Structure formats: C-alpha cells, structure tokens
C-alpha cells in the first residue's frame, strides 16, 4: 500500500477547507522504550512497539492555510531551511487539493533536528491543524496513524502523559498507532540536559536505515525492545521509578550500541554526553534516584522524582526540569 492509498483509507471523503486557518499545538515526547528500525519505510511501520512520555510545557504550534501557488513554510518566524520545507511539502502532497499550496507557520519551543523530538511534535501539530482546516473530525487513533506517515514518533505526540505505539502486524499499517496510557505520576520529573542543540550530523531516519542495513547486532533488537515495552508498562503501573529508570536507561544504551556497531559507525554521543552519564552513575552510587535516556542525538533526558530534584539540579545547574503531570 502506498502512502496516498493509506490516506484514502483513513479519509475517504476529503472536505474542502471549512475555516480560513487550521491551528494546533502538540507536545514533544520522550521515548522510554525506543523505536529504532522500520519494517515498511513508505508507511513508517516500526520493527517494534515503543513507549513514551510527553512534555506538555514543550512542543510545536502550527498554523496551516490553503493558498494558490507554491507552499510557503516558515519556522520560528523565518523561511524554513530547504530540507525542512521539502520534507513538509512531500507530506502535504498526501492531502493537497489539486493545484493548491499550503502556507505553514510553525513554531518550535525546542531546537529543531537536535534529537529533542521536534519532528514528533511538529508532524503531530500539523496533522491536527489539517484536521481542523478540512473538518475531517478524525479520531485520535486515525490522527496518530496520519502523523506516523510524517515521523514515526509523531504518532505518540497526539497525547499527553504516557503513550504506547503499537507495532501492529498488518502490512497495510491500519493497526499501527499510538494510544494514551491512563496513569498519572505527579511526582515524576523529566530533566532536559542539553549537551549540543545544533543540527545532528546524520538524521534519525538515515541513522536508522544505516543501522538496520549494516549492524550485525540489530537482529536482537526487535525482540529485546518488545520485552522492554512490557516491562516498562509494569513499572509505570506500579510507579516504580528505580525499575522504570533502569529499564529506560538500558533500552537507550542498547539502541545506541546498535548504532555504534553500524558500518560506518553512527555515533551521536560527544565527550560531554559520556561525562554526563558518568555523573549520573556517580549520583546513583550516592543514593540519588536519577536515570537517563537518550534519543538519536547527544542530549540526555533525566528521570527522577520530586524528592531528588534539588540534588540532581545541584549537579547539573543548566538542567531544564519539567513536570509531565503538573
């Protein structure tokens, strides 16, 4: 099935614009059980399920207008970089009325293409804005599947709190979507430790494809990742941070191990990334309950609870502490 055919399955009757603009916001999400590798690149179907937590204080606000002529895409008030604009235009082709263009004004509250989940919040916000513009009135499940076509992790940014993206089994992708996990954890804290917010030397998509194609360790990843999702679900249900933190940290390091074993190697870490990991391990030896996870980038995301917030922030003075359930 092609992406165009997939979209026609989800939106059989496409409406003309019902309002002048569509505008929506979506949060970034941090994967605790990672998605790495696709079983279908055209439909962005993952090799494994994944689990995330959204950060309601950070995300993307997007406004979409139908226009005559070519697309006009801005990012944070400036003309979008060419690669960014081309990626959005290709995605918008799936919904474009014949002969029309889109004006897209998008604002990210996190650095773009730095491994801080801006593409996830970006495509989730874009899909929600299109739904409003065309008055599709799609369910959250269908919006999640549409967002997945733009960025796999965007399927999870439709929701606040914890979310589970189901791998699915069908080749048509209609059973691969995210859904919220109805569990609150008011004392949980997520810390953003920004090591380098510049553009990554290799995109997540390219790094993922290279890993799947050349890493001899990758064959063990899907089964490990599925087991990690189930174990993390149990830890979240029990609100057991030591268990969840240990599982999330191990999951992230295992994913990065497959990247490092790729040929040529895909290494997102910097010396400062490794130094931060060692500081976190030292804190745990001192009795501070803090763990980390990392996506495809050099920046760390820390997990801790309110009781350890002061000790963690004292070690990392530049840390941005967020309250997912505040």
Angle at 61 between CA 85 and CA 110, to 5 degrees: 80
Instruction: Give the pLDDT score at 116.
Output: 55
**Per-residue pLDDT for 200 more than 90?**
no
Cβ neighbours around 282 below 10 Å, total: 11
Candidates 3.30.300.30, 3.30.70.890, 2.40.128.130, 3.40.1190.20; CATH matching 188-322 = 3.30.70.890
Instruction: Give the pLDDT score at 193.
Output: 95
Instruction: Count Cβ neighbours within 10 Å for each residue of 3-13 and write b for 16 or more, e otherwise.
Output: beebbeebbee
Instruction: Render pLDDT for 55-92 as a digit per residue (tens, 0 to 9).
Output: 988 999 999 999 999 999 999 999 999 999 999 999 99
pTM of the entire structure? 0.94
Instruction: Give the pLDDT score at 114.
Output: 45
In whole angstroms, give the CA distance from residue 297 to residue 301.
11
């Amino acid at each position: 099935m092609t992406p165009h055919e997939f979209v026609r399955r989800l939106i059989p009757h496409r409406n003309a614009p019902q309002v002048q603009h569509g505008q929506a916001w979506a949060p970034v999400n941090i994967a605790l059980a990672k998605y790495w590798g696709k079983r279908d690149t055209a439909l962005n179907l993952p090799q494994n399920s994944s689990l995330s937590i959204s950060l309601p204080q950070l995300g993307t606000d997007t406004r979409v207008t139908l226009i005559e002529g070519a697309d006009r895409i801005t990012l944070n008030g400036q003309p979008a970089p060419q690669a960014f604009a081309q990626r959005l235009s290709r995605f918008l082709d799936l919904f474009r009325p014949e002969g029309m263009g889109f004006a897209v004004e998008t604002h990210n509250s996190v650095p773009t293409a730095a491994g801080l989940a801006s593409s996830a919040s970006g495509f989730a916000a874009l899909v929600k804005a299109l739904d409003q513009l065309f008055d599709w009135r799609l369910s959250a499940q269908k919006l999640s599947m549409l967002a997945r076509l733009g960025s796999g992790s965007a399927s999870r940014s439709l929701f606040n709190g914890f979310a589970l993206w189901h791998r699915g089994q069908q080749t048509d992708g209609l059973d691969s979507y995210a859904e919220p996990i109805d569990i609150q954890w008011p004392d949980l804290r997520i810390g953003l430790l920004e090591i380098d917010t510049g553009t990554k030397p290799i995109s997540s998509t390219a790094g993922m494809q290279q890993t799947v194609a050349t890493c001899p360790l990758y064959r063990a990843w899907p089964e490990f990742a599925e087991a990690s999702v189930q174990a993390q679900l149990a830890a979240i249900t029990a609100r057991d941070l030591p268990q969840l933190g240990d599982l999330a940290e191990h999951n992230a390091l295992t994913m990065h191990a497959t990247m490092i074993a790729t040929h040529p190697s895909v290494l997102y870490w910097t010396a400062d990334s490794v130094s931060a990991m060692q500081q976190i391990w030292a804190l745990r030896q001192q009795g501070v309950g803090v763990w980390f996870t990392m996506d495809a980038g050099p920046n760390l995301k820390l997990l801790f609870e309110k009781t350890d917030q002061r000790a963690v922030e004292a070690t990392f003075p530049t840390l941005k502490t967020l309250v997912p359930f505040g």
